[in-house]
Structure formats: C-alpha cells, structure tokens
C-alpha cells in the first residue's frame, strides 16, 4: 500500500517482483535472436496492430535492413551481418498466406514499427536502460519514417540509421553528440564542437555570417545565433554514433579517433571509452572472428509471419499438494477473474488439469459474450484429488491436444501452467514444448516448485511467476493479470490499477483509495477476495460521493469473491474502498482493480516491470526495472514501490525513485509526456507483476556489509565566477538505499591522469560536506586556485599548461566501502579572449541536430527502477550545395 501525500497529487505505481530461492543457473538455449557464424539470425521486426495496412511498408523494411547488413559488415571490419529476419504482420491486416506465428509476438520483437500516438516527430530511437555495454530493449521506427523518403535527407539513409540504432540496442554504446552542450572549451582554451571524431570539419557561423570560434561561447552560455556548419565534403570516416548521415562516415570512433574531452553520453556512461572499444568487448565479438576473404555476405532472408486466432489453454494442477495453503482456492479465484475480465474477447480458451495423469476439462470455446465466460469458469476444477503425484508433462500433453483441435497445430497458442511442484520429470517434455510452437507461462505455487518449471517458460518465451503460500498475497491474481495477448495493443487490454492484500483483525477495517485517471475508466472492475469465513462488509465511494455497498457486488461464496463492475466510463478521481471484517477471526482480504483505456486514440499510462536476468549470485545485485510511460513517452516523477516476496520471509517493500542515484540525461523523444488536468489533480495508479528471480549462494545468518554505495553517473562541473560548482545525485549507504558517510572528490588538469589513477589526483577538502539521503540532489563549491597558478606535472615528466580541470567523485559508506569512481566532469578555468557575456537561448541548437533531452533515473541497487530511456537520433538538414547543417 502506498501512502498518499495530502500536499499534492501522487503518481502511485506498484510492481511485484517475486523471489524464488536457490535454483541453479539455467542454460541459455531456446528460441530468439542468435549470432551464428558471423550472422544474426531470427531478428524479429513487429508492426503494431494499429498501424494502418500498407503493403509498401514491407519492402521498405527489407530494403533498410539489407542496406544495414552490408554497412554493418564493413563498419565491424567483416565481423557481423544480418542473415535472417522475421517480420510480424498484425492480425488486423488482410491474410495473405503468411507463415504462422509460433512463439513470436510483438512484445518480444527487437524492432518495433508503430505510431507515436499523437506525439510529434518520426525520430528513430532505442530504449536503453542498462548502461554501457549492455543490451537495450527495442528499436522503434514510425511508419512515416520508413515510407517518407524526404526524411532521409535529415537522417541519412535508413540502413545507416538502422546500424546506428543497432549499436545502441545490441552493444550498449551511446550518442557522441550533445544538444545541451554542442560546444565546449578544451584543455588548451579552445572552443571545440562536441563531436567524434574531431576530424569532422566545418565553420562557426554567427548571426551575421562566419565568425571566430571564440565568439561562440562564454562560460557555459552560447551566443545568440551561433551554430556550426559541417562541410558537405568530409574525409573523416568516424563516427557512426555521431553523424551516420555524412557520406564519409563508415566506422565507429576507436581509441585513436575518440574524443575523450567531448561532453557526450558515450564519455559520461562508458568511462571515456570509445564506442569501438565497447563494441569489441561485447560477447558478439568475443566469439566472432572476422570473415576471411574479400567477398561480401549474402543479403538477408526475410520471413513474413502473421498471428491467427488467439488460443489459450489453462493447465492446472489438482494434485493433493494443491490443498496446502489454500492453493486451489486462490488459483480458482485468479483463474475465474482472468476468464471473466482479463482475457480478450474472441479468444479461444480451453482448460486441462493434471495430477498423475492429464485430463481435458473444457475443449476450446470462443469468448463472444459474458455467458461464454461464465461457462468456462464452471469448468474450473472445484476440488483436489487424493493423488499426490503431479505430472506436468501429462497436463501439457492434454493442453496441446486441446489447442491442436482448432487448426491441427499448437503454433501461436498460449499455455498458462500452474503447478505446485514435486515433479522431477518436467524436462522430459522440453523438446515437445519447444517444437509445439506454443508459449508456456508458468506459475510456481509454493516452495516445493522445481527449477525446471521456470526453465520451461524461458525456453518457450513465456513469463514465469512464483506464488508464495501466504494468504494475503496478491501474487496469484497479479500473475494472471500480467499475462496479456502479446500484441502490444494497450487499447484492447485490461490495465491493473490496484493490487493490495492485508490480514485484517476481527472488527477492523482495510481502507484505501485508488485513482482512476482520465486515460482509463472503461470496463472498470473491483474484485475483493477472502480466504476464510463469509464476505466482509464492503463500501466503495466514487469521486462524486456515491456509495456502493455489499449488496451491489456480485458475490460467489464458492469462490469467495465479490465483484463490482462500473458501467460506462468510471468517473476520474479517487475511489475509496472500505472492507470491514465483521467476523470473529482474522481475515486475509485482497483487492484488485482493473480498467481499460477510455479513449480509442490516446494510449493510457502503463507500467512494465521486469528483471535483468533469471538469477544472480550473492552478493551481486539483482537489477529490476520498471518502465512508466504513455505510449512511448516516459512519465516522470512517479512514486513507484517494489514489493519483493521471498520464499520464506515477509515481503519487503521499497520506494524506488525515477531520479535516483545517478540522473542520466538521455536523448529521447522531444519531451516527457504532459499531464492532463485531471491527472495533475488526482495522479494515477498502476500495478504490475515483475515475474520471479533467484539469488544463489546466500549465506545463512548475519553477514558482513558487502554493498558499497552505487556509482555516481551524473556529476557536472560549472565555473561560477572564481569557483567551480559541482552537482550530482546522492547514492546510498548500500547501492541506492540509505545515506552514505562521506565523499571523496579529486581533481586534475589531466584527463588521462584522473581517469587512470584516481587515487593520485589532488584531493579536494570536502570534510564539511555530509551526504544526504539517496536520490537527493547534492551541490558543492570549491575554489580551483591551486590549479591556476602554474602548469601541472604530467606522469611522463612533461608539463602542459591547461585551462580546464577534470573532477571525479566517489562515495564512502560507514564500513569504508567505496563506490566506483564517477563519470569525469570538466570545467573551464578561463574563457577565450574577445568574448562578451550574453544570455543563453533556450532553443539554441547545434544546427540540424533536432534532438531533445529526457531523463532516465538509474538506481543501481539490489532493486532498481529505471524510467523509459529513448535514444534520439541525429538529423541533418541541407542548405544550399556547399554545406550540410547538423
């Protein structure tokens, strides 16, 4: 439960991340993108269901990736290319003898083609959320970008753009330009353009024509009308991450061409390493030698896929183990809610169960009405068997039989498998599950569930969940709520607004509020469940003060549930519910609220939670991410709580901050999504399950502190009169939690010195600086006089007079554990002569780079939350025949 702040609206989101204790590391085999013999195979491109049918999109996609394959092959020095591509056609398009989908879906695609949903611009972007050298989540293109050839004048050819984005996605490198700081002053007191490589040529232009470069900057303020025009004819071959549109650019910046002084994201996030150095360190390059000879690889092959009817089969454990901890009752409650409210209309649904043997309970039945939903609920198992044995493979076999009766194969179908554990032979049906073409989502009920159950989900591209044996846990319903159609169409899906549970004492109440914002409201449903006794007394009050009482709910005593459906569109605002335990014993009461989009063309706000990997080993942190957005735009300043439910301990709830330890400026869509008046007034609520993960090797009993503060990644330095002002986001005592004890700030006039030997740089006296709580903005000012009185001796014995200082910082906790050294910030100690101060201009840009800045909050803790980060690409415009403006 998230407390509400009476001082103002709160954006309250909650995701549940479930912990499974001790399972072995799982082998990474199964379907999906692979690199084999220098070629990428099974790259999936998916078109959103709301993209208007236009067959010309397909040849444009093929042309783009074919060009990209050869450009990538050359840029990587004959190491990698694209061999096979799958393009997923929406089911909303006319059928045209496309191949049938197996386990592919929109949500699993590496490349998405969709509209912006009323957002301006067609800029390609990549969602990067894991830092330098780490894979991103997807590349995004709009249909207009793919179809409108006029846009290529600004971005360069689509194939070049694709390679730029691929480097973001696959290898975790970042842009080498910076809209906020298009110019900087280097160590020799020269005005330079933020670029890579520095060999890219051009001229500075002021309002009245060409001007000396010194006239373009004063301190950190740009002069009115100052820009840099890149020459149309270049000889520089790098860099793809700076300006892929230049014809001469055919490679990434490497150690010899990389500009370490440029204030860009590549330097900030990759510790001044060149893009090529990061790429060469990737797993792709560790296992791929350059192809021999001089021949080019063959062009990629393309397969067009289209999903057919949506087919789902519930495969439910009914062995005697299901009698423990009310497992069967909680499964009935969740499955019934899924069938009555969550699964999309027109879906074919069947039900199978298993103990030692499998059984078909309901053949496929298409959902076209409420009566269809009620009929399916009636087929749910009502009792457990006396048999303790549970054969998952027998249950899956029956599930496959159910779905195969529709069209002869299980391709594209979904299995929702709930099992209580004890079956040691699940691996016997791995091959059958893989070859079936079905996606298997697994729910592991209780602590005895075996590891191979989760492996089954991973191999088939399914989700995996752990459901603890706790009566007030909502994890069972949360898991069913997380399982969607996979089409990516949020307008057709139910969105979970609330998920809370509590054991209420006799004659006590559970009271809370949930926000229904103006982005949702259709088909809004309140579900109340209990485990013992009769129903609680229920009162629900809408924003206008109207009250709904127990008699207004549809109650099922057999399932121990009560549902209230709000007709039409629910009133935006706070809905307050009160559940009164009128019985003489404690009751585990749970509330789930779902709704759908209220408008057909405006996407609702959503939250997606997921973990970085299936397992980790103590004391390495497990990274958990939550993307909070509307369409593709991030929603900033959300209050997000993560509830981690261990196998045999009480849940742990953490508040995660989207501006946490290390606010990183990322190139993103033009601006974060705006808030409607209703949303500003009431906020919004969302809930989502983040699946399960394992932590291996956790020692029994107390253990020493092994968690240092996390790395500061947003250090900035600005010269203010005679002092240097630093700013950064405070890390915590343990990663991003708590409060560090002290900071260690060091400075140097040599970038290389502070980068390679932080301990030998000069220590700044910061004894009076006391770290604040994690996530707080820190500031510190000091005088750099020590560095302005003469040259600094370099490590090789030479001297160099520098007009810049370089600053880095690390945090120290109470046990003297030190964080990694921060990004290196730089500040000019003087400004070029003949410069006069001017006011900064908000819209001043390095001409042609039409990018904007958004923020991603990176919290590098055992649990972290990261906002949607979208890498915007470079645009170039042409003016005349002599110059290219960028």
Cα–Cα distance for residue pair 114/435, rounded to 1 Å: 30
Burial class (CB in 10 A: 0-12, 13-18, 19+), 663: buried
Cα–Cα distance for residue pair 464/442, rounded to 1 Å: 5
Q: What is the DSSP pairing of strand 561-569 with strand 520-530? A: antiparallel
Q: What is the DSSP string of 393-417?
A: HHHHHHHHHHHHHHHSS-TT-EEEE
Of these residues, 67, 165, 502, 647, which one is catalytic?
A: 165
Instruction: State CA 140 to chain mean position distance.
Output: 13
Lookup: tokens for 146: 């793919």
Task: Kindly state the DSSP code that residue 476 receives in the 8-state scheme.
Answer: H
* Cβ–Cβ < 8 Å for 526, 540: yes
User: What are residue 564's DSSP bridge partners?
Assistant: 526
User: Using N-to-C axis directions, what is the helix angle for 475-482 and 327-337, rounded to 10°?
Assistant: 30
Q: What is the DSSP pairing of strand 587-597 with strand 520-530? A: antiparallel
* Residue appearing with tokens 């997000």: 640
Lookup: tokens for 256: 């010899």
Of the candidates 364, 463, 455, the one whose C-alpha atom is nearest the C-alpha of residue 103 is 463
Known active-site residue 165 = yes
* Residue appearing with tokens 């990474």: 28
HSE-up of residue 84 (Cα within 13 Å, Cβ side): 10
Q: What is the DSSP pairing of strand 11-21 with strand 684-696? A: parallel
| Phi, psi at 330, each rounded to 5° | -65, -35
662: left (phi over 0), alpha (psi -120 to 50) or beta: left
Task: Give CA separation, 173 vs 73, 157, 413, 490, 568, in Å.
Answer: 17, 20, 36, 30, 47
SS3 81: strand
Beta-carbon contacts of 200 under 8 Å, excluding residues fewer than 6 positions away, are 193, 230, 234, 236, 242, 243, 246
Task: Kindly state the DSSP code that residue 654 receives in the 8-state scheme.
Answer: E
* Cβ–Cβ < 8 Å for 254, 238: yes
Of the candidates 604, 598, 543, the one whose C-alpha atom is nearest the C-alpha of residue 574 is 543
| Phi, psi at 240, each rounded to 5° | -65, -30
Cα–Cα distance for residue pair 317/708, rounded to 1 Å: 44
Lookup: tokens for 799: 């001297």
Q: Residue 247: in which H helix or E strand, if any?
A: none
Cα–Cα distance for residue pair 65/76, rounded to 1 Å: 16
Instruction: State CA 540 to chain mean position distance.
Output: 34
HSE-up of residue 574 (Cα within 13 Å, Cβ side): 17
Cα–Cα distance for residue pair 852/868, rounded to 1 Å: 14
Cα–Cα distance for residue pair 565/636, rounded to 1 Å: 31
For 357-379, b where at least 16 C-beta lie within 10 A, e where not — what string? ebbbbbbbbebeeeebbeebbeb
Beta-carbon contacts of 796 under 8 Å, excluding residues fewer than 6 positions away, are none
Q: What is the DSSP string of 549-587?
A: EGGGSEEETTTTEEEEEEEEEPPSEEEEEEEE--SSS-E
Cα–Cα distance for residue pair 880/847, rounded to 1 Å: 14
* CA–CA–CA angle 10, 529, 605 (5° rounding): 30
Cα–Cα distance for residue pair 747/749, rounded to 1 Å: 7
Active-site residue set? 165
């Amino acid at each position: 439960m998230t407390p509400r702040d009476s001082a103002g609206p709160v954006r309250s989101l909650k995701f549940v991340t479930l912990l499974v204790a001790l399972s072995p590391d799982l082998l990474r085999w199964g379907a999906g993108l692979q690199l084999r013999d220098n070629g990428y195979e099974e790259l999936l491109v998916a078109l959103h269901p709301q993209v208007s049918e236009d067959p010309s999109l397909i040849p444009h996609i093929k042309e783009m990736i074919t060009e990209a394959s050869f450009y990538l092959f050359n840029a990587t020095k004959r190491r990698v290319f694209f061999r096979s591509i799958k393009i997923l056609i929406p089911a909303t398009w006319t059928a045209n003898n496309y191949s049938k989908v197996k386990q592919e879906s929109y949500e699993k695609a590496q490349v998405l083609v969709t509209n912006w949903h009323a957002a301006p611009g067609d800029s390609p972007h990549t969602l990067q959320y894991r830092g330098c050298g780490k894979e991103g989540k997807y590349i995004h293109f709009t249909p207009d970008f793919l179809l409108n050839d006029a846009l290529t004048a600004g971005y360069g050819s689509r194939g070049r753009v694709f390679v730029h984005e691929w480097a973001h996605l696959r290898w975790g490198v970042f842009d080498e330009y910076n809209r906020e700081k298009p110019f900087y002053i280097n160590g020799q007191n020269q005005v330079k353009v933020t670029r890579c490589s520095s060999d890219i040529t051009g001229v500075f232009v002021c309002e009245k024509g060409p001007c000396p470069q010194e006239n373009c900057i004063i301190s950190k303020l740009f002069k009115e009308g100052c820009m840099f025009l890149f020459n149309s004819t270049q000889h520089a071959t790098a860099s793809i991450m700076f300006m892929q549109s230049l014809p001469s650019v055919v490679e990434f910046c490497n150690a010899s061409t990389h500009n370490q002084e440029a204030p860009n994201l590549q330097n900030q996030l990759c510790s001044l390493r060149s893009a090529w150095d990061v790429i060469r360190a990737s797993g792709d390059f560790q296992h791929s030698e350059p192809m021999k000879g001089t021949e080019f690889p063959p062009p990629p092959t393309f397969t067009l896929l289209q999903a057919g009817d949506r087919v789902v089969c519930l495969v439910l454990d009914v062995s005697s183990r299901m009698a423990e901890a009310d497992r069967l009752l909680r499964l009935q409650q969740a499955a019934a809610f899924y069938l009555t409210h969550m699964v999309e209309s027109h879906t074919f649904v069947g039900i199978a169960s298993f103990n030692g043997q499998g059984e078909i309970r309901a053949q496929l039945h298409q959902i076209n009405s409420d009566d269809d939903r009620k009929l399916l609920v009636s087929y749910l198992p009502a009792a457990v068997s006396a048999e303790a044995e549970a054969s998952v493979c027998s249950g899956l076999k029956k599930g496959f039989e159910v779905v195969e009766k529709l069209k002869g194969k299980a391709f594209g179908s979904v299995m929702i498998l709930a099992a209580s554990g004890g079956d040691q032979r699940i691996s016997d049906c791995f091959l059958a599950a893989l070859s079936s073409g079905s996606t298997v989502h697994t729910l592991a009920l209780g602590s005895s569930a075996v590891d191979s159950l989760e492996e089954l989900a991973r191999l088939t591209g399914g989700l995996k969940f752990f459901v603890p044996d706790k009566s007030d846990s909502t994890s069972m319903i949360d898991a069913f709520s997380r399982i969607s159609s996979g089409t990516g169409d949020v307008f057709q899906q139910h969105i979970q607004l609330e998920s809370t549970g509590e054991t209420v004492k006799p004659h006590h109440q559970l009271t809370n509020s949930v926000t229904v914002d103006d982005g949702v409201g259709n088909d809004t449903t309140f579900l109340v469940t209990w485990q013992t006794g009769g129903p609680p007394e229920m009162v629900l009050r809408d924003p206008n003060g109207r009250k709904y009482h127990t008699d207004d709910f549809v109650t099922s005593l057999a399932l121990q549930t009560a549902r209230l459906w709000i007709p039409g569109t629910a009133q935006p605002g706070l809905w307050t519910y009160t559940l009164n335990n009128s019985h003489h014993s404690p009751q585990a009461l749970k509330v789930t609220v779902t709704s759908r989009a209220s408008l057909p063309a405006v996407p609702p706000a959503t939250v997606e939670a997921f973990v970085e990997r299936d397992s980790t080993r103590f004391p390495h942190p497990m990274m958990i991410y939550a993307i909070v957005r509307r369409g593709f735009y991030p929603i900033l300043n959300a209050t997000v709580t993560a509830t981690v439910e261990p196998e045999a301990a009480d849940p742990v709830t953490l508040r995660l901050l989207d501006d946490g330890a290390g606010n990183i400026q990322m190139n993103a869509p033009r601006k974060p999504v705006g808030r409607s008046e209703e949303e500003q007034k009431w906020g919004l609520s969302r809930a989502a399950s983040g699946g399960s993960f394992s932590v291996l090797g956790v020692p029994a009993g107390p253990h020493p502190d092994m968690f240092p503060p996390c790395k500061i990644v947003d250090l900035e330095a600005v010269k203010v009169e005679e002092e240097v002002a630093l700013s950064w986001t405070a890390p915590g005592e343990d990663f991003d939690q708590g409060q560090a004890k002290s900071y260690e700030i060091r400075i140097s006039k040599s970038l290389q010195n502070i980068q390679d030997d932080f301990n030998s740089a000069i220590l700044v006296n910061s004894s009076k600086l006391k770290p604040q709580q994690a996530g707080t903005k820190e500031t510190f000012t000091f005088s750099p006089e020590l560095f302005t009185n003469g040259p600094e001796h370099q490590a090789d014995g030479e001297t160099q007079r520098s007009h810049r200082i370089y600053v880095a910082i690390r945090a120290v906790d109470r046990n003297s554990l030190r964080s990694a050294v921060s990004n290196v910030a730089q500040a000019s100690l003087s400004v070029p002569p003949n410069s006069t101060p001017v006011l900064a201009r908000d819209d001043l840009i390095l001409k042609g780079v039409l990018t904007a800045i958004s923020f991603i909050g990176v919290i590098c803790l055992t649990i972290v939350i990261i906002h949607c980060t979208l890498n915007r690409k470079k645009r170039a415009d042409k003016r005349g025949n002599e110059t290219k403006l960028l």
